[in-house]
Amino acid sequence: MAYDVEAPKYVRLAQTLQGRIEDGTYAPGTRVPSENQLVQAFGMSRPTVVRALELLKRDGWLESRQGYGTIVRGRPAVVEKRDRRGTEALTRDESRALGRLVEVGRVPVPARVASVLGLPKRAKVLVRRFLVEEDGEPVELVSSYFPAGLIEGTDLESATPLSGGTRAHLETRKKLRFDHVTERVSARLPERDEAELLEVPDGVPVLSVLVVACDASGQALQVSDVLLPADRQELEDTYRLN
Other beta carbons within 10 Å of 44: 17
Alpha-carbon distance of 207 to 223, in angstroms, equals 16
Backbone angles phi, psi at 16, to 5 degrees: -65, -45
Contact 4, 220 (CB under 8 A): yes
Contact 155, 169 (CB under 8 A): yes
pLDDT tens for the chain, residues 1 to 242: 333 345 578 888 988 898 888 888 888 888 999 999 999 999 999 988 998 898 888 777 888 887 778 888 876 654 555 556 678 889 999 999 999 999 999 999 998 899 888 888 889 999 999 999 988 899 999 999 999 989 999 999 999 999 999 999 999 999 999 988 888 888 889 999 999 999 999 888 998 989 999 888 888 999 999 999 876 655 444 444 44
Q: Is the pTM of this model over 0.75?
A: no
